[in-house]
Amino acid sequence: MQNQQSNPARSAQTRPTAISSEIVQLAGAALIGAFVVYGVGFSHLMPVHNAAHDTRHSATFPCH
Amino acid sequence: MILSAVLVGALVGALLGLGEQFSTAPLIAAAEHQAEGHGHAHGHEHEHSAEAGHGHHGDGTAWAPADGAQRIGFTIVTNMGVAIGFSLLLMVAMYIAARGRGAPVNAATGAAWGLAGFAVVFVAPSLGLPPEVPGAASAGLTERQLWWLFTAAVTAAALAIAVFAPGWRKLPALVLLPLPYLFGAPEMPASPYGGHDAATAAALETIHGQFVWAAGLTNAVFWLVLGVACGWAMQRWVLDRDVIGGAHAAG
């Protein structure tokens, strides 16, 4: 994820922290997204399965 | 980004949940009616109370929403959950593409992202594990879930390489795409409706044929709308001027 555009507003000192905090935020967002989809679509807990049953079938997640 | 993904996902997911009430849900209910009316699928005593309508797994004591408003409500809420999750993943991918490759992010490119999501999450897994209706026997659940996740991940990687890698470096996509099918989906029983009598099996098969189309169309529309909404929201709320400016300059 290298910024190919030269940006004089960003100094050499601030860029690494800016980029790493960006990566942390992106990874966090992706993890939350994956966790939510997994919870609704793949959890084996019966009450969760029953609540999400029609959703799982419609989204063609393996259900039964 | 998280806030806008939640907003977009909640809205599109709610629409999807409502849409399913007219497309896939009636077919699921019809299949359950067939399967439970003849009651062989899971070998349990079927109760006739509304409460037990589709809690047709396990020991029968697990909580399940009552048929009607409660079931529809939970379907809508869980659809919102799935849509929020997919929005987050889609927006992260859009962000990385914009930042790293200068890919423009807006409603129009969002449509392409949505179609890619449809290919990854619906088309690719469905080629090995067709959409299922209740009452159909199948391979082990965990094996199918793992194969589903593996296929979606490999297809997503292949599409990303095919679109964003330069020149000959696109080639690995050709190796990745067929990989899940060479590896093989979990083996299905020869006749998924073998546990039912002939009339029930025939009815389930008819319902299944309709269900595949209903699910395919519903999911295609869902992903298209989700992609457009995510692209629009990303452009409007998330990407700072740096990234957008770079995107237009590069693209």
pLDDT digits (tens, 9 = 90+) for B135-170: 898 889 999 999 999 999 999 999 999 999 999 999
Q: Distance between CA atoms of B213 and B216, rounded to whole angstroms?
A: 5
Q: Which residues of B touch A38 (CB under 8 A)?
A: 85
Put simply, the answer to whether B78 touches A47 (Cβ < 8 Å) is no
Alpha carbon of B129: minimum distance to chain A alpha carbons (Å): 8
Q: What is the pLDDT of residues B182-202, one digit of tens each?
A: 998 998 887 888 888 999 999
ipTM: 0.85
Reported as half-sphere exposure (CB side, CA atoms, 13 A), residue B225 has a value of: 17
Span B78-88, average pLDDT = 97
Q: How confident is the model at residue A20 (pLDDT cuts 50, 70, 90)?
A: confident
Give which of B13, B20, B149 is closest to B83, Cα–Cα: B13
Span B12-20, average pLDDT = 95
Q: Which residues of B touch A36 (CB under 8 A)?
A: 81-82, 84-85, 88
Q: Is the distance from CB of B76 to CB of B18 less than 8 angstroms?
A: yes
Q: Which residues of B touch A39 (CB under 8 A)?
A: 81
Chain B residues 121-160 within an 8 A CB cutoff of chain A: 121-122, 125-126, 129-134, 136, 138, 141, 144-145, 148-149
What is the reported pLDDT for B240?
67
Q: Which residues of B touch A59 (CB under 8 A)?
A: 82, 121-122, 215, 219
- Chain mean pLDDT for chain B: 87
Alpha carbon of A13: minimum distance to chain B alpha carbons (Å): 18
Q: What is the DSSP letter of B52?
A: G
Span B27-52, average pLDDT = 61
Report the phi/psi class of residue A18: left, alpha or beta, with left for phi > 0 and alpha for psi in -120 to 50.
alpha
What is the reported pLDDT for B1?
87
**Between residues B123 and B237, the one the model is more confident about:** B123
What is the reported pLDDT for B241?
56
Q: How confident is the model at residue B244 (pLDDT cuts 50, 70, 90)?
A: low
| Residue A55: C-alpha distances to residues A23, A26, B24, B86 (Å) | 32, 27, 9, 14
What is the reported pLDDT for B49?
36
Q: Which residues of B touch A26 (CB under 8 A)?
A: 92, 95-96
Looking at the partner chain, which of A2, A35, A58 has a beta carbon nearest the beta carbon of B215?
A58
**Between residues B147 and B250, the one the model is more confident about:** B147
Alpha carbon of A18: minimum distance to chain B alpha carbons (Å): 13
